[in-house]
Chains A and B, each alone.
Chain A
Amino acid sequence: MIYLDSAATTVQKPKAVREAVYAAVSNLGSPGRGGHRYAMAAAETAYLCRERAAKLFNVRDAERIIFTMNATHALNIAIGSLVHEGSRVVVSGYEHNSVMRPLRAAGARVYVARSPLFEGEVAASVFEDLLRKPADACVVNHVSNVFGSIMPLERIAAICRERGVPLIIDASQSAGTIPIDNEALGAAFIAMPGHKGLYGPQGTGILIANHSAEPLMQGGSGSNSRSPLMPDFLPDRLEAGTHNMPGIAGLSQGIAYVLRHGEGNILSHERALISEMAESLRRLPGVKVYRAADTAQQAGVLSFEVEGRDAEEVGEELSNLGFALRAGLHCAPLAHETAGTIERGTIRASVSAFNTQAEIRSFIRAMERVTRVAK
């Protein structure tokens, strides 16, 4: 099967990731829970992963790298730390349910900075308008998981810094492909999965915490154990319980892969594949492609529709033909509302560093067959 669903999770991982996960199961203990060889080997593995993440995202010290289960977990910590009943929060029009549901649960007053697809300049000006009034937080999905559109993060971060608004960045689709400079952005929190563009295993995520944070869970931290309260220092404050060491060992190797190959190179590769895919799909009868006129506005995610066909049915047909894509609303109804696709949903293709031009061409041949049948 040809895998084109890396926006959900990357399935093709570097060999070193698989090997590290396998070795961790037998060789690593629990970091912070002893001074013996197994515990210290785990501690060294976890620290190396923090250091690699700190290097990739230019984070001043590794203590701000918090291990989470996924981006949703990281976003829940960030939102729970800044947003309370009645808080005024400004979000982009392309947020995922991992942002919208925690905001709803917190009782926030949410203001959506709606902007057309692939219009970064417009998005920045809408944020600027909405942030004229004081806000308790601003949340930005760096890259839409539905359309691959890229938000003008540096501009929005600058507005937030100028107005003193804590910024939460959802880097779920950008971490590992688009350079993110933590120190330059000055965001309160940056949340990301470990299992997408960082090529770690599922069950891993990272929160970069530059702001004081409230733990989502309470429990053992391996430190200050006489206290009935969670420690007031990072990362221990936000990492209660035993760590996912096989996951972290794999994530460390995944980040090493990104550091070695370079985000810029990975992004160029993904853009080239998406660009060819979009151009070929566009020529097929009845296919509507959501593509940026300016390629700099889109990452390695592409949505499309087939006229007269249900998105899920097309997804199923492609699966039967040997292609893994995701169809529907992609857990981001707000993004579909903003783009005007909420009633139909879309079919989404998303690529990684491991996809090839031959795979894209094979997919296009399958789509030629799907659209012939549709006629």
Chain B
Amino acid sequence: MNYYYLTCRSLTYAQRVSGALRTAGIRNMVVRTPQKVSRDGCGYAVRIPGDSLGMALGALASANLPPKKVLVIRRDGSTEEVSY
């Protein structure tokens, strides 16, 4: 299964994103952003299952909490930034 990482500017922002997604009924987890996709150094992201992206982006737009970036991490370990 693929996962999407919604990268965030800070841990606290990631926690706000996580709360908004939870309110919208979307399973998620605050995690460290993998170094291979982070150009800024240490940071946090919210990980969501591959089938939740559309709903998650809608919920975050409603809450005015846009993620910094959206990345897909595939089962084979490859990553790619997703434009949204």
Residues of A near any B CB (own CB < 8 A): 31-32, 34-35, 40, 43-44, 46-47, 50, 61-63, 222-227, 231, 233-236
> B13: which A residues are within 8 A, CB to CB?
63, 233
The interface residues of chain B lying within 8 Å CB-to-CB of A233 are 9-10, 13
Residues of A within 8 Å of B10, CB to CB, are: 32, 63, 222-223, 231, 233, 235-236
B40: A residues at CB distance < 8 A: 223-227
| A235 neighbours in B (Cβ, 8 Å) | 10, 12
Is A224 touching B11 in the complex (CB atoms < 8 A)? Answer: no
Which of A34, A35, A50 is within 8 Å of B12, CB to CB? A50
B41 with A227: CB separation less than 8 A: yes
Question: Within B1-27, which residues are at the interface with A (CB < 8 Å)?
Answer: 9-13, 15-16
Determine if A32 and B31 form an interchain contact, defined as CB atoms under 8 angstroms apart. no
Interface residues on B, range: 10 to 19
Contact: B42 with A223, CB < 8 Å? Answer: yes
Contacts beyond the supplied A32-B10, A47-B12, A223-B43: 14 A-B pairs with Cβ under 8 Å: A32-B42, A43-B11, A43-B30, A46-B12, A63-B10, A222-B42, A223-B44, A224-B41, A224-B42, A225-B40, A226-B39, A227-B40, A227-B41, A236-B11
Q: Are B9 and A223 in contact (CB under 8 A)?
A: yes
Inter-chain CB contacts under 8 Å: number: 60
B9 contacts across to A, CB distance below 8 A? 223-224, 231, 233
In the complex, which of the residues A223, A224, A234, A235 has the most CB atoms of chain B within 10 Å of its own CB atom? A223
Q: Is the CB of A31 within 8 A of B32?
A: no
A interface, over-half SS: loop
**Chain A residue with minimal CB distance to B14?**
A43
**B43-69 contact mask (Cβ, 8 Å, vs A): 1 or 0:** 110000000000000000000000000
User: 8 A-B Cβ contacts within 8 A?
Assistant: A31-B11, A32-B11, A62-B15, A63-B16, A222-B11, A223-B9, A223-B10, A224-B9
Assuming the A-B contacts A35-B31, A35-B32, A43-B30, are A225 and B41 also in contact, with contact meaning beta carbons closer than 8 angstroms in the complex? yes
A144–B65 alpha-carbon span in the complex (Å): 39
Task: From the candidates A31, A40, A62, A224, name the one contacting B43 in the complex (CB within 8 A).
Answer: A224
Interface centre among B15, B16, B30, B44 (most CB of A within 10 A): B15
- Which residues on the B side are within 8 Å of A47 (C-beta)? 12, 15
Complex Cα distance, B9 from A224, in Å, reads 8
